[in-house]
Amino acid sequence: MVVHTDMTSDEWKWLVRLCQHEADRIPKEIEARFTELGLLGPNGLSDNARNLVQNELLAERRNRLQGLH
């Protein structure tokens, strides 16, 4: 695990910005993919089902990223 003391201030700021960008980007990509697959709208997944799928995809991505260190 990377901790703040392992990095310079600039490296830490870069990592924080990267994480913020990823946090903003990923849910939008998932939502776009749901639209492509026709899973949104009146005949699509319920809000609860969409949230469950999105949370599972985010957890899977987080686990993959944690495995990279």
User: 3: pLDDT confidence band, cut at 50, 70 and 90?
Assistant: low
**How many domains does the chain fold into?**
1
User: pTM of whole model > 0.75?
Assistant: no
Answer whether 29's CB lies under 8 Å from 36's CB. no
* Mean model confidence pLDDT for the chain: 77
Angle at which helices 47-66 and 9-36 pack, to 10 degrees? Answer: 140
Both tokens assigned to 60: 């899977």
Give the range of the structural domain holding residue 61, as residue numbers without chain letter.
4-66
